[in-house]
Amino acid sequence: EFKDGLNKLVTTLFARCGPKRIGDDVLTGAALAGVAEAYADALNRGAVPVIATAWQSVAEAECRKALDKALLEYDKAFADFASSDDARFVDEDSSDDSATRLHEAARNAALDVFRR
């Protein structure tokens, strides 16, 4: 009986509740923790928490993390190529567009990481 009631409660909660949002943006666990931390910091300073300011700080931090991960992915693509046998055959003075193709592939990989 208890398990049935609990299962019914969980089903009802999932059916009626959606993710926490600020505007059109869904808050992840890390973002929600960041907003809570910003609110707590404001309250500890004796200030009134401002939703927009707290959310902007969290959004900036999340973007910074995504950018750092994307840059690492971009650098990794070049490092992987530089350590490969293919790197020996690239002529700096040639009109070969292999460097351009490598840059585009690395950029696309970095953008995929950034968007995740």
The tally of CA atoms less than 13 A away on the side-chain side of residue 98 is 13
The pLDDT of residue 46 is 94
Task: Tell the burial category of 49 from Cβ atoms under 10 Å away from its Cβ (0-12, 13-18, 19+).
Answer: middle
Q: pLDDT at residue 90 above 70?
A: no
Q: pLDDT at residue 12 above 90?
A: yes
The pLDDT of residue 4 is 94
pTM greater than 0.85:
no
Enumerate the domain spans of the chain.
2-115
| Rounded Cα gap, residues 42 and 80, in angstroms | 45
pLDDT in tens, 93-111: 555 677 777 888 888 889 9
pLDDT in tens, 48-87: 988 788 888 888 888 899 999 999 999 988 787 777 666 5
- Phi/psi region, residue 50 (left: phi>0; alpha: psi -120 to 50; beta: rest), is beta
More confident residue, 91 or 39: 39
